[in-house]
Amino acid sequence: MKQTLAQKIIARAAGRDHVTAGEVVTAKVDLAMIHDSGGPRRVAPILKELGVGLWDKDKVFLVSDHFVPGDTEEGASILALTRTWARDTGVRFHDGQGICHVVLPESGQLQPGMFAVGGDSHSPTGGAMGAFMFGIGATEMAGVLATGEIWVKVPETIRIAWTGQLGDGLMAKDIMLALCGRLGMDGGKYQAIEYTGEAIKALSMQERMTLSNMAAELGGQTGLVAPDEVTAAFLRSVGGAVPDLSDLHTDEGAEVLEDHTFDATALAPQVAAPHSPANAMPADEAGKTAVSVAYIGACTGAKYEDLQAAARILKGRKLAAGVELLVAPSSKRDQDRATQEGIMAVFEAAGAKVLPNACGICAGYGTHRLDADVTCISSTARNFKGRMGEASSQVWLGSPLTVAAAAVAGHIVDPREMLS
């Protein structure tokens, strides 16, 4: 029977030969990721109420990222609770190392073919590794932690192919904003999105992570990229074992719900106007909107390659008068690498302020929340009203290149104008 990649992974986790789209099955979880916000403080009381411990502490991956660095009284107490729980349970804990969706793949623990859950809506990021990973709420996470199982409605697959090659100055974020604009925020219909085509195959693992991450903005349950040589090389580079990849793909002729094809060669840098990622348009059609804050941060927008891209624009340039550029590298590992390669020095020389490896204002936390009426351009994944600060703040989304270009120009521009 011809199966999609998603069906193959779910069937294996459910102990079945094959599964049919639409049926509700119970599957065994290979890995459960939680963070300080939705994790211990919310699941521990439920586990206590149930009177049970963890089903398998070695399959639980805990990250502190939302309340790092704990600069408010409440944040500090949530971090303290998280640390105590980590000690008491003996789970794997990455404390202050960066944002969960980036720290997990970097750890080498997430394997292609895994059936994994995360206590965060951007958990589809794991799909970049060829894992079926999706986000769940805290109550449901407590159920997983107690039993190691979860119900899942077998999704259909929406296949999104990008043919051709992305031009210079274009990034995975541009692909995703264009898709949000074209398909809408419910275009994914909570089904499995699978990205294919030569432009996707040519992308690095970090760029694929941006695609899979923003499957959440498309409304997909997960966003898969079939594992290949790029996946294997990434796994080796982080010290992870490479499993047999030969069957981890959608069979030719397997039934899919929708097939979309887009031309990467024709894509121009995209921005999304407030207050939805679906308000996408080419950057040069944004009416040179003036910005006073530029934010390079979040799981989707400040990984090593994002920092590297932004530095291409910022090198030898200064921020426009009145513009504040905030940079919150997604992980410590990525920041360290950027430091070694002189990338962080470029940010500093341009006048940027570097913030902790944490969610920060992407989640509306920390001391840099946006003030009333501020217009910001951000490399984050979503620009819902009031998410990053005051309800009257205006957030545009763009790739790290586009954010850096706006920080230099003082208004939204096509970043290709600044690439030589």
Decide which of another protein, ligand SF4, none touches 46; Cβ closer than 5 to 8 Å per partner kind: another protein
CB of 404 to another protein, least distance (A): 27
Integer Rg of the chain from CA: 20
- Site track for ligand SF4 across 291-320, x = CB under 6 A: -------xx---------------------
Q: Spell out the residues 6+ positions from residue 93 whose beta carbon is closer than 8 angstroms to its own.
A: 62, 63, 64, 83, 86
**AA letter at 112:** P
186 binds another protein (CB under 8 A): yes
Q: Spell out the residues 6+ positions from residue 66 whose beta carbon is closer than 8 angstroms to its own.
A: 35, 36, 37, 358, 359, 363, 365
Which token pair is 227? 């594992």
- Residue closest to 177 by CA, chosen among 211, 208, 206: 211
387 binds another protein (CB under 8 A): yes
List the interface residues with another protein, window 99-158 (CB under 8 A).
119-121, 123, 135-140, 142-143, 146-147, 151, 153
372 binds another protein (CB under 8 A): no
120 binds ligand SF4 (CB under 6 A): yes
359 binds ligand SF4 (CB under 6 A): yes
Is 379 in contact with 305 (CB distance < 8 Å)? no
Query: Of 103 and 273, which has the nearer Cβ to ligand SF4?
Result: 103
- Site track for another protein across 188-227, x = CB under 8 A: -xx----------------------------x-x------
99 binds ligand SF4 (CB under 6 A): yes
397 binds ligand SF4 (CB under 6 A): no
49 binds another protein (CB under 8 A): yes
DSSP bridge partners of 262: 162
- Residue closest to 35 by CA, chosen among 83, 72, 77: 83
> Which range, of 132-140, 254-262, 285-293, 358-366, touches ligand SF4 by CB under 6 A?
358-366
DSSP bridge partners of 230: none
List the interface residues with another protein, window 231-260 (CB under 8 A).
none
Decide which of another protein, ligand SF4, none touches 298; Cβ closer than 5 to 8 Å per partner kind: ligand SF4
Q: Give the Cα separation of 382 and 331 in Å (integer).
A: 19
Query: Of 64 and 111, which has the nearer Cβ to another protein?
Result: 64
* Binding residues vs another protein (CB under 8 A): 24, 26, 38, 46, 49-52, 74, 119-121, 123, 135-140, 142-143, 146-147, 151, 153, 185-186, 189-190, 219, 221, 363-364, 382, 384-387, 391
* Binding residues vs ligand SF4 (CB under 6 A): 65, 99, 101, 120, 122, 298-299, 359, 362-363, 380-381
